[in-house]
Amino acid sequence: MAGGALAVVATAAMVVVTLPEGAGAGDRGDRSTAAGSARQDAIAPEGVVEDAPEEGEKGIGSDPLTDAETERAEKAALDSNGLRTSARDVEGDRGPQRLSTNLAENDPAEGADAARRAQIVYYDYKKDAAITKTVNLETGKVESTNSAHNVQPPPTKDELTEATQLLIADPLGKGLKQDYKKATGKDLTGPGDLDLSGFIFSKQTNLKIPAELSECGKHRCFQVVAKVKRGPWIDTRAFVVDLSSRAVGRLG
């Protein structure tokens, strides 16, 4: 756990590059410079870099969403049902927290000519609800909205950053800061000093749950996995951050 031993990963690899015979050398004996250049060109021809094809406004079939389609779908989703003004994101600002935007799967019964649709998943921290909106990319209209409680999709980078910020500021984050200092000789100034990952905390897998984490499941709770940039992992698995109540708890 944080404050304890650091899991240090030290892996080194050496790469040996073998150059073609005569590469980088001057004239040798009767071999001419032209002959050497011809051999080098044959072994390592010059590459030609081509510009990526320009992305169109619309995708076709099961193509990934284009930037234009994504922007249009997200705007339509936010504008429907007053979501832009009624919901709150992970920092408490106006508007929901977007979790993902993907191409929606169509009903096979619609056939090959079915309209492309985008599925946008949000989390509303005001109501503790996961909201899924499906937008028809041809009409630009929201065709369906689903709101569900006690459903916790995987965390986003912004949410992990906020959870880590809360942990660092909390008295329980003392061990994390101490371990970072041991590993780097520097003070931990914020989440930007770390490589972050994490996962949803499920209280069903733990026998003893502190009071501040009793609403996890209904609330959005994460266990953060922290790593010093270009350095060791710091074990923070015992700490859970409830982003809905902005509380930090320790297991065990």
What is the domain-level CATH number for residue 132?
3.10.450.40
Residue 177 lies in a domain: yes
Q: What is the pLDDT of residues 11-52, one digit of tens each?
A: 333 333 333 334 444 444 444 444 444 444 445 456 666 655
Q: Is position 182 within any domain? A: yes
The verdict on residue 16 lying in a domain is no
Query: What pLDDT band is residue 128 in, cutting at 50, 70 and 90?
Result: very high
Q: State the total domains in the chain.
A: 2
pLDDT tens column, 188-242: 999 999 999 999 998 887 778 999 999 999 999 999 999 999 999 999 989 999 9
Domain enclosing residue 235, as ranges? 157-250
Q: What is the CATH number of the domain that holds 231?
A: 3.10.450
- Calculate the average pLDDT of the chain: 83
How many Cβ atoms sit within 10 Å of the Cβ of residue 66? 16
**What is the model's pLDDT at position 114?**
87
Please say whether the beta carbons of 40 and 67 come within 8 A: no
**122 burial class (0-12, 13-18, 19+ CB within 10 angstroms)?**
buried
111 and 167, same domain (yes or no): no
